Structure 1
Amino acid sequence: MDRREAIKRTALLTGFAISSSTMASLLQGCQPEAKSPLDSWAPKFFTKEQGLTLAEIGEVILPKTDTPGAKDVFVHEFVDLMVADCEKPEDKKLFQDGMAQLMAGCEQANGQTFLDCSPEQQLSFLNEQDLAARTLVDANPDLDDEDYPFFLKLKQLILLGYFTSEPVGTEVLVYDPVPGVNEACRPYEAGTPDWAPNR
C-alpha cells in the first residue's frame, strides 16, 4: 500500500473527507526536499569555497563506485547543516578555524587549493591529515573534545551523513522498513552488507 492509499483509507476509517487540495498538500509534504546542484548550493555555515572543498573531501573519502559517492547523497549539505544547527558556538568556531587551516595546509603543501589539486594529491594530503590525527589520538587517548583533531571530527560527520542517508540506507545497506524482532546477537555471514540504522 502506498502513502496515498494509506491516507485515503485513514480518512475513510475516521469519517473525515479530505479535499483534493488538502490531499495534494499532504502528499507533497511527504516528499523529500529537492537537493540543489553543487554549483548553485549555498552553504548555511561554511563559505562557498569551504563548502565546495568539503564536498570534494567527502568524495575523496567516499568516492562513487558501484555504490553512491558522498556527493551523490549530499553529504556536504548534511555536514553544513549539522554544524550550523547542532553544534555549540565554540564548536562552530573549531569547525570554521579547522576548515580554514585544512585548506591553508593543502595550499602550503601542494602550492594550490584543494579543489585545484589532482585526485592523487587530494588523496595523499587527506591520508597525511588522517595519519597525523590518528597518531595524536593514539599518543593522547584522554584528549578533551576541544583538543580532538578537527580532521577526525569532520570525517566522523562525513561518515555519519553518508551511512544515514536514504539512498545508502535503502540501496546499499540491508534495509527493513518495518523491523520485526530484535536479534541482538545475529550471526554474521562474510560478504553480506551491514544493516541500515533504525531512525
Structure 2
Amino acid sequence: MIDRRTAMAGIVGMFGAQLFAPIARAAGVAMPPGVPVISEGPPSVQVFTPVQRAVMTALSDRVVPTTDTPGAIAAGVPTYIEKLLADWGLPGDRVPIVAGLDAIEARSRQDYKVSAAKATPAQQDALLTLAMNGALPTATTGGKTFFEAFRQLVVTGYYTSEIGMTQEREYLPVPGEYNGAFPYSQVNKVYAA
C-alpha cells in the first residue's frame, strides 16, 4: 500500500505554489537543514489549547464531513494537524492557524453566544465562510490566510490517511486493463495509486 509520505508528495501538485509550508516540508519539497524526520507517536509539543483543539476538530469535520464514507474525525485528521504543526511546522507556521481558530471562537461567542465547537453545523459553515472570504480579522493575519492553510491541512490529512486512501478512494495498485471507451457513468470511485 502507498505510504503517507508518497501520498503527500502527490498532493503537492493539487495545491501548487500556494502549498502551506509544513505540508511542503513533510512531503520533502522544501526541506530546510536541521529539520528532523517526523517521528511516530504524539506531537513533540502542544500546539493547541483544549478550546482551540475542540474548535479545530469541529471545523475539520465541516471541511470533510461524514457522508457515505467516514469524515475527517474518523480519519484522524485533528491528530494529524497537531502532529504536523508540532513536528514539521516552524513557530511562525502555527500563527495563522492558532490566530484563525481564536478569531473563529471569538466570533462564534459574539454572534451565537456559544463556543464554535458547540455551534450548529450551519453556524460553523457560516464562520468558515467568513474566514474564506477574509471577513474574519485575526490579530496577526487575515482570515483568508487561516482558511487556505487550514483547508490544505484537512484535505491533505484526510486523503493521506488510510480511510482517505482506501474508503474514499479506491486503492488498486494495478487498476486493470486499459479501456479507452470506458463510460464515465460507470466510474465508482477515483483511483489512488
Q: TM-score scaled by structure 2?
A: 0.62
Counterpart selection for 1:169 from 158, 165, 170: 165
Return closer, same or farther for 1:104/1:123 CA change in 2, 3 Å cut-off: same
Uncovered stretches (5+) of structure 1, i.e. residues with no partner? 1-32, 36-42, 136-145
Question: Structure 1, residues 53-73: CA drift from partner, whole Å, max 9, x if none?
Answer: 111101122211110011111
- Matched residue type, 2:113: G
Cα distance in 2 for partners of 1:47, 1:127 equals 23
Q: Is 1:195 equivalent to 2:170 in the alignment? A: no
Structure 2 unaligned segments of length 5 or more: list them.
1-39, 136-140
Distance 1:80 1:107 in 2: 24
Mark the CA change 1:88 to 1:34 in structure 2 (over 3 Å): closer, same or farther. Answer: closer
Deviation readout 1:103-156 (Å, 9 max, x if unpaired):
2122222222102222221222223322x14x9xxxxxxxxxx77611111011
CA contact (8 A) 2:131 2:146 kept: no
Match of 2:53 in 1: 51
**Partners of 1:76 and 1:188 in 2: CA distance:** 37
Q: Which amino acid is 1:189 matched to?
A: Y
Report the Cα distance in structure 2 between the residues aligned to 1:109 and 1:188, rounded to whole angstroms. 49
Give the total of aligned pairs.
Answer: 144
CA contact (8 A) 2:96 2:145 kept: no
Q: Distance in 1 between matches of 2:92 and 2:152?
A: 18
- Work out the percentage of aligned pairs sharing the same amino acid: 25
| Matched residue, 1:73 | 75
**Misfit runs of 4+, over 6 Å:** none
Q: Residue 128 in 1 paired to residue 130 in 2?
A: yes
Map 1:8-157 to 2 at 5 A. 44-130=46-132, 132-133=133-134, 149-157=145-153
Higher relative contact order (CA 8 A, sep 6+): 2
Is the alpha carbon distance of 1:188 and 1:53 closer, same or farther for their aligned partners in structure 2, counting shifts above 3 Å? farther
Query: Higher helix fraction: Structure 1 or Structure 2?
Result: 1
Q: How far does residue 180 in structure 1 lie from its aligned partner after superposition?
A: 8.1
Once residues 107 and 45 of structure 1 are traced to their aligned partners in structure 2, the CA distance between those partners, rounded to angstroms, is 22
What RMSD over aligned residues (CA atoms) do the two structures have, in Å?
A: 3.2
TM-score normalised to structure 1 length:
0.61
For 1:86 and 1:179, the matched residues in 2 are separated by 33
| Shift in CA distance, 175/115, structure 1 to aligned 2, threshold 3 Å | same
